[in-house]
A and B are shown apart, each in its own frame.
Chain A
Amino acid sequence: MSTLPPQRNYKLSDKVDFVVVGCGAAGGVLARELSRNGFSVVVLEQGPWLTTKDFTHDEYMVWNHASLTNDFRKQPTTFRKTPKDKAVKQPALTYGRMVGGGPVHFTANFWRFHEIDFIEASKKGTIAGTGFTDWPITYADLEPYYTKAEWDLGVSGQAGASPFDPPRSKPYPLPPMPVKSSGVLFEEGARKLGYHPFPAPVAILSKPYQGRMACANCGFCMGFGCEMGAKSSPLPTMVPQAIATGRCEIRPHSYVRKIDLDANGRVTGAIYFDQSGKENMQRARAVVLAANGSETPRLLLMSKSNRFPDGLANSSGVVGKYLMFNTDCLTGGLFEHELNDYKGIEVTRVIHDFYEIDAKHGFYGGGGIDARFFFYPISFAQWGLPPKGPQWGKDYKKALQKYFLRSMYLAGHTTSLPVADNSISLDDTVKDAWGLPAMRVTYKDHPDDLKANQFMIDRSMEILEAAGAEDRWNYGVQESNYGFHLLGTCRMGNDPKTSVINPDHRTHDVPNLFLCDGSSFVTSGRGQPTETISALAFRAADRITGLAKRGQV
């Protein structure tokens, strides 16, 4: 592991302005913004601080040994479909676990939400049995921060290329990435059917930007760290800029177990285990949780007190509830010539023609479809061939030879409705390696989510046919029992009875406690949440700075 960069070091006894828990898509942004705005900041990150030198193309270690993600052996999870079921110990979710967070290992699709995402319930009506409701902020409120995210992180794309795009105040800072064969075929098929394919917006540098190198098209984005530093996570951007202020300290291997509350109902700091297992407390004037949509509610639920017997800032009882994963689906197609789709970034073309599926189909939902490379060599041999074809033997070997270079996959990304029973809670019996209650995941897709998923499979199969695929296959609609996108568990709202944070990201219950990450979402968006998490963090930093400078924290 590389040596950490020199940085400001605070003492535990120093009462810093802010402790930020988590250094990912939101925490990294908050660290830079708050430290630039003059505040002293300590960031407690449970994962390691890796650098580009630590990243590899080793599929087995990255995907099977969780080298960049939460580790089931040390941090077990349990899963059940409904609160009536007994939870079973099994892997139930993944998150990026390192300085830089999920964006270090993500595929880098970087979509803005559209205007409709914030006001959908009032436009379409509420849905029985769900917490489907409008956000208390609008697209217009967030637009400047989407722009800031794109320019400060470095995003490649083509403004105006999709007729469904929301208005934007500035174009993308970088042109789109080079189109791959999957993008060309997808574009051809989609246009034949009257759809509107456009270059995928991605948090990857198509050209050198702000002293960073451009993408080398090595192909290892999904799940991997970028050894060029060309993926625009907080790691090569926000983190060094925060350190450079001289006011920010990032402490990796810091696993927070409790947020401390005083007799006046204000938080006083974070209690955490360091790498040696020693318990420390970092004192702070205010605390911001940006630990992701599963760890933020878990930490609140673990931070019980006399004042908050059901968990910190949980007078509403909705902490951990309304978990949304985004459903996804996959289809594949074989073509006459070699695509060599393992070269280059994963996704180069997308459609948003089904961002809002017409209500005439009888269900709520919507999303996007993209063309992509999906299976690295081991996973290709495991799952990449048509499921009905041979999976071992001489015909399997022939298929492996035939399909790898000549296939592409279409991924559909869709809505998940907020359902109160879908949740993060504390398991009754299973503990993690630190002796803390394991995360219990309860999740059952709303029927409309599965219908939207089937709709996307059907459209994808048509596009593959229109693109001229010789063979087409799909993996069916599967009920979710595993999450990559962790959304909605401390939802934002104006009513303290039905939400956890207000539009300033301040908890309704505790004046100097703020939450900002995927947990803040009110609805799920269409399957690519990271840009919205980052934009919320830029906005939250502005709001929190304003409050602090006015003496209102």
Chain B
Amino acid sequence: MFLGQAGASLGLLWLGSMTPELLAQARAHAQSAQATGAKLYRFFTAHQAADFDALAAQIIPTDDTPGAREANVVHFTDFLLSGIDSDQQAQFTDALKALHDQAVKTVPGAKSFAALTSEQQIAAMKAMENTSAFGTLRGFVVTGCFCDPSLGGGNKDQVGWKLIGFKDDFYYAPPFGYYDAHYNEGKG
């Protein structure tokens, strides 16, 4: 039952209702931090932020188009984990520790995941890609890339939505796509 699987997976991330007031406060905080250029993290240590940033940049790399870095994934995740997703801090910290441990396992003596070469990072990720820790980290990366940009500054400048071609224009008129535009030409 695919819907159920998705629901249960989402369920692990569920927090419960966030009051509009708390959400507004959290958003105001995120905006003021951006406006003042503050780079301080509320949840991450510098080491954690660097490792998570490196991982995010491997999951959705920057090439001829923007990737997870340009989407502001690290600061957005910090916003979530210090606010509306604070009950997932332990789970996230454990997942980052698993990433660090895998980095050391892949390259003995490594100081951090971020300190590995790109090839070494990819090797470490392949070694743990089927773990729940990796799933936790990947979930936050894609959330930060593809969320509604009004939520805490993720998907900055809609770089994630532009990547896949999604727009949220609130109003569309048919035809919507190639096949319904050609519907009257005998297809279907």
Contacts and interface: CB of A to CB of B under 8 A. Distances in A.
A453 interface: yes
Nearest to B182: A184
Contacts of A498: none
A394 B59 CA distance: 8
B148 A58 contact: yes
Given A184-B180, A218-B170, A66 B16 contact: yes
A341 B176 contact: yes
B89 interface: no
A194 to B, nearest CB: 15
A438 B147 CA distance: 32
Nearest to B145: A381
A82 interface: no
B176 A184 contact: no
Given A188-B187, A191-B188, A59 B148 contact: yes
Q: How large is the interface on A (under 10, 10 to 19, 20 to 34, 35 or more residues)?
A: 35 or more
A64 B13 contact: yes
Interface residues of B, number: 64
Given A91-B8, A382-B139, A65 B14 contact: yes
B59 A61 contact: no
A382 B14 contact: no
A412 B8 CA distance: 19
Contact of A67 (B12, B18, B147, B161): B18
A404 B7 CA distance: 21
Given A66-B16, A484-B3, A183 B180 contact: yes
B168 interface: yes
A217 B145 contact: no
Given A337-B177, A397-B163, 13 more contacts: A56-B148, A63-B10, A67-B17, A71-B16, A90-B8, A91-B10, A217-B172, A218-B172, A340-B176, A344-B174, A381-B145, A478-B1, A482-B11
Interface of B: 1-18, 20, 23, 58-61, 63, 65, 67, 84, 87, 122, 125, 129, 138-139, 142-143, 145-148, 150-151, 160-161, 163-166, 168-174, 176-180, 182-183, 187-188
Interface of A: 1, 56-61, 63-67, 71-74, 90-91, 94, 178-181, 183-185, 187-188, 191, 216-219, 227, 325, 327-330, 335, 337-344, 377-383, 391-394, 396-397, 400-401, 404-405, 445, 453, 475-484
Q: Can you list the 6 inter-chain pairs with the closest CB atoms, starting with the nearest? A: A91-B11, A482-B4, A337-B178, A73-B16, A181-B177, A181-B179
